[in-house]
Structure formats: C-alpha cells, structure tokens
Amino acid sequence: MTAEILPELAVVPSGSPVRIELRGLDAGTLTVRHLGHPVATHELSGPGLVSLGVLPPGGYGVELVQGERRWRTAVDVQHSPWDRLRYGFVASYPPDRDPAPVAEQVRRLHLTGVQFYDWAYRHAALLGGGEQYSDPLGQPISLATVAGLARAVQRAGSSALGYAAVYAVGNEEWPRWAHAALVQPDGTPYSLADFLQLVDPAAPDWLDHFTAELAAATEQVGFDGFHLDQYGYPKWATRPDGQVVDVATSFDTLIRATRERLPQARLVFNQVNDFPTVRLADAPQDAVYIEPWEPQTTLGALAATATRARTVASGRPVVMAAYQHVYDSVPDEVGDRSAALTMATLFSHGATQLLAGEAGRILVDPYYVRNHPAGPSTLALLKRWYDFLVEHDELLMPSAVTDVTAAFAGGYNDDCEVAYPTAPVTGEAIAGGVWRRIVELPDRLVVHLINLTGQPDTSWDAPREPFADVVGGQLRVRRVGGLLPRIAVADPDGAGYLRPVPVTAAGNHALAALPPLHTWQIVSVELREDTPR
C-alpha cells in the first residue's frame, strides 16, 4: 500500500467534523494550516480515520511529518458543497467495474462534481437500452455500473452529473423529431458527424420529452444533476416551418424548463467557446462552464475568458474545459509543463479546469472516452496543484477578488510592484517575461507571478520548454502608517503553503526578497496587520 493521507470527503459541509484517512502510516505529527498559519497539531499513532473536529469554512492544508518525510493533503470546508466546482469525469461503465478507485481520485483531488460522460443509451432516449447496452459509438454500458459509480462519488463528498446533449437526436429517432430540426440555408439539418442531427431545444414537444428523460434518469440512476451539452453551433437557424430560431434564447428556455422540472438538480450548461455566456447570465445554472476552442488558443485568451465569465457569474463557480491535447504527442513531463501553465492561468483568474478524472486519467479530446492515462509525474503534479488550489481557496476563488493591477502597479501608481534583475515583468501573458497580476481582497493584496521567461510563445495547448527558475525577485509595496506589511509566498511546487519572507523598510515603502520563481507563485501582502517598524 502506498503511504498517503486523504480527506474523507472532497468537500466538507460547514458544521460537520473533518476527518483524514491515514494509509500505510502508523505515527507522526499532523499539522493543520489555514493560509499558512498553524491552527491545530495532532500526535498520531496508528492508521485509519483521524478527526480534526469542526473547522470554520475555508481551505486548509494538512501535513503529516515522520522524521524527514512529509505527506500532504488539503481540506475544503464550505457552507454549500456547490459553492466550488472542481470538476472531474468518468467515461467507462463496463459490467462489474469497481467504483472504489474513482472515489479515491475524487477525494485525492477534492473533486466536487463528476461528469458522467456518454453513459446513456441514445441521446434522445437516455434509458432505452435496458440494464446493459452499447452506446451510439459502441461502448458497452452497464446501468448498474453507472449507478454504482454515482453512489461512490456521492459517498466521497461529490456530486454525480449525468451527461445529456440538449438538442441532439440520433438517426434511429430522427423521424420523430425532424419537424423540429435546426435547418441550414441549403435546407439540410445541422448535424454532428454523420450520426446526430440537431433540433430546436425550445420546441415544446422536445422540451417535454427531454426534461422527462432527465427526471427518469434522476430517479433510476440517482444522479444529483446534469451536464447539459451543446456543440457551439448554430447561433441562428430556421426550422422546417420557416420559423427563425435564436438558439441562445432557446438554450435559456431549455435550462429554465429543466430547472422547473428538477428544482433540486445541479445543472451545468456548456457555453462552447464562450457562446452564449452573457446571454445566459440569468439562467438558473449552478456554474459558468466554458469549453474554449480557437481563437482562444493563448494563456492570455484563457485569462480574458475567465475574467469575463466571472463578471456575469454572480458568485457561481467558473470552469474551463481546456483539454490538453498536447499529451497525445509529447512525453508526459513536457505535457505537465503545459498543464501547469494552464492551471496557473486559470487558478490565478478565479477559475478551475476540467482535466482530471476516472481513476487517474486526463482529458486530451472532446470525446472523453478517448482520454489519456496519467503517468506518475502527471499524477503527482495534479495532487500538488489541486491541494494548493484548495488550501488557498480564499485567495483565489471568492467573488470578492478584484483585479487592481492597473491601479497599483507601475511608476505612476508606485503602490505594489515586482522586479527581477534578469527578466522583464509584464502585465499580460507575454513570452519571455514574468506575468504579474495583482488582486485585492478585503484584508490583503495577492500578487500572482507566472514564469514565461523560457517560452517561445504563450499557447496553452502546445509543448512548453523547461522552466528555469527566475531569481533575485524583489517586491516593493507602499506602507500604511508605521507598520511593516506581512508578506508571505506560496508555491505549488515548493512547500505548498504560505511562508513569511523578511520585510524591510525603505522610506515610505517596504521591500521583500522573493524566493526563486519556478512556475507560479502567489504573494500575500497584508498591509495593515503586523508589528511596528
């Protein structure tokens, strides 16, 4: 058995006791930290579940020390389990599949939602295949396996969301629905490949049928909700009767009808390539989920899309389905660098990424069955970075996070800036520099630093060059009164938690020497809380 520590649940409801499972470990000192500050210490003896008691809402790092060896995990305590969406997937449902490895991955990566991709018999007849069947592309499905995986995910503290395409009809069912087709100018229906045609999602008879299918799947399989998919086209179309369809409006109608039929369901709608994110801002969905494609090919484009999404999210979590196709063509360690920069970009802009799932696989293709087995380096990367995401949740994900880069950085402002002797610092994602972003929270500034110094471009789904540490960084921040700010730095590839750095006075400013920058650092600056100079 591999020695590790795992949270009992992917997310712990506020007011419930927090428990950690020790595997292959029989003793040690367990330290619980909140934003770098130790809040509890436990001396342990023996494996099994260890209670940490009831913790206030927030993200916590948990570290077990045995001599020189250390094991880490994180704990997320939320008022509502759906306040955050760290999204995963499953895409294989053969008979007699053991669900335990999937549940363990849910706990290991703190996944709060799992998409059950292509579980259904047909797109327009979700449960029409009986207990065992082949899906439209020939994958064998056991409905008992689907239900068993859903229960396992739920016991791990996550939500099971069944995949359902909102307007797709297969060839066998098409005669029944051809009257509601979305038609191209040449008179042929819009389609996907050669086995699906598209209907108006707001056609009344389709709405009745589709929502009834979802209700039946909820009852029979036990899903907590649904991942509602579309393909990003068309934006406008006609129906066979000549009626012009504004598809964004039809999507809104469908989401509202689904909410009315399933008021307790968790609903995630796919806004493909940011369509129609703004139009659906008021729709009753539980996240803002975007699948980026061309022209959203750069880290800067991902950042801009995440920022736009947060402006209309009304506090709902933002998720980007940024598939790392690069893993199909390069060694894992090269793909890991691409994934790290994608995660750094999204996490630093208040969004998460749909990437990992199953029992240790990652998405490299929009057809999730065609996924990639994660190697040891990738699994270790995901573990570190998802722990880091949870532990620093309050600095990354709250709706109160506000970008103040333009107001604080630069010579005119002279309020907060970073400089390196060997690398330029940039306010945008520019190859060859350190990408700096400053955000404000009610009690501090947070500076994000992303290392692009050795990269030839800023594509997020392309091979990346090895990271060369950027050294000699200095943070300069304007002081408040006679106090020195408390400045701490955290790195997902380092200690993993906020660690104070020395701060000195320089007239009206304070200076802090930063540790070497590898891929991504967050710098916490508490301006009003520390000891007098």
The strand pair at 288-291 and 266-272 is best described as parallel
Residue 311 domain flag: no
Compute CA distances 71 → 45, 66, 475, 497, 521, whole Å. 15, 9, 31, 13, 21
Tell me, what's the pLDDT at 397? 97
Number of domains into which the chain is organized: 2
How confident is the model over 13-34, as a mean pLDDT?
A: 93
Compute CA distances 336 → 370, 382, 430, whole Å. 19, 9, 20
The CATH code of the domain that includes 59 is: 2.60.40.10
Q: Is residue 531 scored above 50 in pLDDT?
A: no
Residue with tokens 């367990």: 30
Cβ–Cβ < 8 Å for 533, 505:
yes
Tell me, what's the pLDDT at 1? 63
Tokens read off for 270: 């796919």
Compute CA distances 248 → 252, 280, 293, whole Å. 6, 8, 18
Tell me, what's the pLDDT at 530? 46
Cβ neighbours around 213 below 10 Å, total:
20
Instruction: Output the 3-class SS for 50-105.
Output: EEEEECCCEEEEEEEEECCEEEEEEEEEECCHHHCCCEEEECCECCCCCCHHHHHH
Residue 110 domain flag: no
Which residues have a Cβ under 8 Å from the Cβ of 340 and sit 6 or more positions away? 381, 385, 519, 520
Reduced to 3 states, what is the DSSP secondary structure of residue 454?
A: coil
**DSSP letter assigned to residue 334:** H
Residue 312 domain flag: no
| C-alpha span between 236 and 374 (Å, rounded) | 40
Instruction: Label residue 81 by pLDDT band (50, 70, 90).
Output: confident
Compute CA distances 47 → 6, 44, 60, whole Å. 12, 8, 21
How confident is the model over 104-130, as a mean pLDDT?
A: 97
Q: Is residue 93 scored above 80 in pLDDT?
A: yes
The residue type of 180 is A
Residue 394 domain flag: no
User: Shortest CA distance to 436 belongs to which of 444, 462, 423?
Assistant: 423
Cβ neighbours around 97 below 10 Å, total:
18
The CATH code of the domain that includes 519 is: 2.60.40.1180
**DSSP letter assigned to residue 184:** -
| C-alpha span between 290 and 306 (Å, rounded) | 9
Residue 366 domain flag: no
| C-alpha span between 275 and 405 (Å, rounded) | 28
Residue 317 domain flag: no
How confident is the model over 71-93, as a mean pLDDT?
A: 95
| C-alpha span between 108 and 101 (Å, rounded) | 10
How confident is the model over 350-375, as a mean pLDDT?
A: 98
- Four-point Cα dihedral 74, 80, 86, 88, nearest 10: 110
User: Shortest CA distance to 196 belongs to which of 213, 181, 215, 214?
Assistant: 181
Task: Summarize pLDDT for 315-357 with one digit per residue, the tens.
Answer: 999 999 999 999 999 999 999 999 999 999 999 999 999 999 9
User: Shortest CA distance to 495 belongs to which of 50, 22, 63, 42?
Assistant: 63
- Four-point Cα dihedral 394, 113, 372, 193, nearest 10: -120
Domain ranges, residue 54: 4-78
Lowest model confidence (mean pLDDT) among 38-52, 101-115, 488-502: 38-52
Q: Is residue 533 scored above 50 in pLDDT?
A: no
Question: What is the pLDDT of the chain when averaged over all its residues?
Answer: 96
Q: Is residue 528 scored above 80 in pLDDT?
A: no
Residue 331 domain flag: no
| C-alpha span between 374 and 515 (Å, rounded) | 30
Task: Summarize pLDDT for 384-420 with one digit per residue, the tens.
Answer: 999 999 999 999 999 999 999 999 999 899 999 999 9
Tell me, what's the pLDDT at 529? 52
| C-alpha span between 481 and 477 (Å, rounded) | 13
Instruction: Label residue 525 by pLDDT band (50, 70, 90).
Output: very high
Q: Is residue 106 scored above 50 in pLDDT?
A: yes
Question: Final residue of a domain: which of 78, 105, 135?
Answer: 78
E strand intervals along 166-285: 168-170, 191-192, 196-198, 225-229, 236-238, 244-246, 266-272
User: Shortest CA distance to 513 belongs to which of 469, 470, 468, 476?
Assistant: 476
Residue 502 domain flag: yes
